[in-house]
Chain A
């Protein structure tokens, strides 16, 4: 392997012409694939923020509770069975982006019955108010709730839903307030490309002891856009990978045809078939690595410059560059593999005699 690697690198260094063409092909495809990925991720994040503002794709509530928006703010003390959250995660698998557990109560606040929502990502040590409730209470800086005075940390943006009239506090505080140990709602946020309808069917088929309620307005349209983007980008990346693979395979084949005498000579001087195979495959892997890394970095830079939805944080995320580079190297190995195997196994004598 060591001598094979050395031969591959010496050959690349000494005869850069075709190697540069192959690496350039890989780099262009890697740049397009990376750019597409980052733009899609940027837009997906923006869409997720919009979707999250409107509401989840699905909600799980205890069996027997109504599915209306009003009903979900009056869930009361009926809880979801313990372990429902992990059952949802198992059933949806990669389709699940996030599952938020909540405890929704009715409680008296300043003499009126208000929805109090315990959220598992709630601000510790304070409460948040829905915009309508904050207006009705005259934008207080503290709130008396269950005999405890809570600082008001934030007023949430208006969503046009009944939650504009709710109080939000940490889940544990809500559970202590109600004297309950569980949750009565799980909000399900799906990944791009997964539709609420499919998820409802999956969850209903999984035997959950809960009612699955499709999500709020606006979400399906946003998810449709996301889904199209996700599917389109995977298709485009698949086509790019296929083109890179084919290009590298053709290059490996042409290269091998020109190097028959050299391969036969290597065999004659004692190179085993693994050494010969590796010398040819390592060359293709090196081209994939060089082209993939260059292209991925160029693609990230171009995406950040040309698309405002790609935040610098996203463009500087090395995981995309590393994955694209590794994928290109793998494509290099796969593309050159069959030619290399054929070259390493062929009888070298005809090639020695034709030279």
Chain B
């Protein structure tokens, strides 16, 4: 369960004053939900995602994951939370360029203190499942963009976190790769994985189960997606 309560985040504006990226945002995201956060550029979507993930401290309000207040923890405990309870997926994949696909995927496991053998086994299983078994020893530059994003998803899942936070996961993909990635996310969600994606692609957003629209740092709309409404 993710709880975002009255969260604000301001940044100093270049010409003086402050910019309100988030302004009193409150949300509750239950276990197994698939939420799409939409909004125009600068509406605060990515800031909200990184704030939920423990990477960007809010200037006001409270964020809790599974009842644990994220910003009442020290830096080390927040890093541990990111290792065990949260998985990030990025628009630009952010794979470490000098590591192989397998090494990229096992990296969070090593950081979490698992043995190399355990980490490799878990990473290899995920890569097989995501159709990247044959690419495990390739470097990111040798993969297609769709494969890179699948490797990014595998990395986010390797420690079996409770929550996947995806920042524009299909933003750099061609339509075919985008639909493959989306299908994967839905598949993991069907298995009970909580997923929060940030996107400006409304079509993609409607394939989630719930849509939250941000405008100037404020929740403007919070509703079930069209896909869910049609299904019900």
Contact = CB atoms under 8 A, between A and B. Distances in A.
B55 A269 contact: no
Interface string A333-355: 00000000000000111001101
B75 A272 contact: yes
A349 B55 contact: yes
Interface string A1-23: 01100110011011100000000
B55 A268 contact: yes
A10 B98 contact: yes
Contact of A347 (B56, B83, B88): B56
B63 to A, nearest CB: 14
B82 A270 contact: yes
Contacts of B75: 272-273
A290 B188 CA distance: 46
Q: B interface, how many residues as a size bin?
A: 20 to 34
B96 A3 contact: no
Contacts of B177: none
The residue in B95, B97, B98, B108 that gathers the most chain A C-beta atoms within 10 A of its C-beta is: B98
A47 B223 CA distance: 91
Given A267-B55, A271-B111, A349-B50, A262 B97 contact: yes
B99 interface: yes
B101 interface: no
Interface in A1-55: 2-3, 6-7, 10-11, 13-15
A266 B82 CA distance: 10
B96 A348 contact: no
B29 interface: no
Given A6-B110, A352-B50, A270 B84 contact: yes
Interface residues of A, number: 28
Nearest to A6: B110
A10 B96 CA distance: 11
B71 interface: no
A261 interface: yes
Contacts of B79: 267, 270-273
A81 to B, nearest CB: 62
Contacts of A131: none
A284 interface: no
Contacts of B108: 269-270
Nearest to B119: A3
Interface in A54-99: none
A273 B80 CA distance: 11
B98 A355 contact: no
Interface string A269-304: 111110100000000000000000000000000000
A355 B99 CA distance: 18
Interface of A: 2-3, 6-7, 10-11, 13-15, 261-262, 264-273, 275, 347-349, 352-353, 355
The 6 closest A-B pairs by CB, nearest first: A270-B83, A14-B98, A270-B82, A265-B94, A272-B79, A269-B108
Given A6-B110, A264-B94, 15 more contacts: A14-B97, A15-B98, A261-B92, A262-B97, A266-B107, A268-B55, A272-B76, A272-B79, A273-B79, A275-B111, A348-B55, A349-B56, A352-B55, A352-B94, A353-B46
